[in-house]
Structure 1
Amino acid sequence: MGLSGRNGREAQRKAAMAVLAHSGAGDIAGHLAAIAVPAHENLREPENGLVMLRGRIGGDGAPFNLGEATVSRAAVRLATGEIGFGYVLGRDRQKAQMIALCDAMVQSTELSGEVETRVIAPLREAMIADRSRKAAEAAATRVDFYTMVRGEG
């Protein structure tokens, strides 16, 4: 696979992960149920843990430890060898597992088309519709302020 092919695959994988991360676990499970999930094994059982959040004052100050956040993670290997990883903020191990499975399937040449059309695309459409609805609700409450200049004399 050439350099442009690899970059295209990485971009597709990155876009799929962004959609999956912003989707609900029930939505992902519903769409995954519509396809034949391939044989796979857990490389890393879904587990919960903590990550340290780092911050900076003003964007250019010295970094400091802001606090910890709970995350769930999982790793899956398909029978064909593709390995997928799933990380989720919060304590949703099932969602992390489903994201890892989708990640592995997106990397598979045989499965990537089906997972894109039957799982990722519907989730992306729902995410875009939800964002549009929220933007419309916010726009309905928008108030335009203006100042009239008073003429002198």
Structure 2
Amino acid sequence: MNSPQTGPGKDGGPGARDRQRRLSVLAKAPAAELLDRWKATGLDPAVELLRGPETGLIAVRARIGGAGQPFQAGEMSATRVTVRIGTGQVGHAMIAGRDARKAKLVAIIDALALDPAHAETIEDRIVAPLEAMAMAADGAVRSETAATKVNFFTMVRGED
């Protein structure tokens, strides 16, 4: 189930949620910030490209109000990469846009996170700080948005 090639979570096991969270944080992180955090770790594994980087279009579906009927909103570019590091772990990445360098780095970090020897370093020095940064930015946007909120109400006249 947790072979070095697939790691935890490939079949929806215990590590699936952690891996999904990690890949989401890495894919959404600004490329420059991701690269800075990567360089700070000092890690430099042997890497074999198994697939990609490949850039293409993916369909984007949406719902009005988040609950309406789904509809085709359009297409967006995405880049995917699959790598294998020297210890045998396979990492995957799919990111929005055409940044092949960032996609490859996300896949390498994913593979290293599957290696028990590096999992804690990846979490503590890359993923957790990037996630905290994203949450802080989201909180700032929420605060700015809340400041512009307008509450509408209806007054009832006494003529019934």
Give the match for residue 69 of structure 2: 59
Moved more, 84-93 or 127-136: 84-93
Q: Measured at CA, do residues 82 and 126 of structure 1 come closer, stay the same or move farther in structure 2, by a change above 3 Å?
A: same
Name the amino acid aligned to 2:135.
Answer: I
Asked whether 1:145 is paired with 2:155, we answer: no
Q: Measured at CA, do residues 50 and 145 of structure 1 come closer, stay the same or move farther in structure 2, by a change above 3 Å?
A: closer
Give the match for residue 90 of structure 2: 83
Name the amino acid aligned to 1:42.
Answer: L
Indicate conservation of the 8 Å contact 2:28/2:95, yes or no: no
Name the amino acid aligned to 1:34.
Answer: A
1:120 to 113, 122, 127: 127
Name the amino acid aligned to 1:74.
Answer: V
Name the amino acid aligned to 2:33.
Answer: D
Question: TM-score, normalised on structure 1?
Answer: 0.83
Q: Aligned residues: percent identity? A: 36
Aligned positions of 1:102-117 closer than 5 A? 102-117=109-124
Asked whether 1:29 is paired with 2:35, we answer: yes
* In structure 1, distance between residues paired with 2:153 and 2:62: 37
Shift of 1:127: 0.4
Which whole-Å deviations, capped at 9, do the CAs of 1:128-153 have from their partners, x for residues lacking one? 00000000000111111122222238
Give the match for residue 48 of structure 2: 41
Aligned residues: 148
Moved more, 138-147 or 126-135: 138-147
* In structure 2, distance between residues paired with 1:100 and 1:80: 14
Indicate conservation of the 8 Å contact 1:45/1:75, yes or no: yes
Structural RMSD (CA)? 2.7
Question: TM-score, normalised on structure 2?
Answer: 0.80
Indicate conservation of the 8 Å contact 1:9/1:107, yes or no: no
Q: Measured at CA, do residues 55 and 135 of structure 1 come closer, stay the same or move farther in structure 2, by a change above 3 Å?
A: closer
Q: Measured at CA, do residues 142 and 26 of structure 1 come closer, stay the same or move farther in structure 2, by a change above 3 Å?
A: same
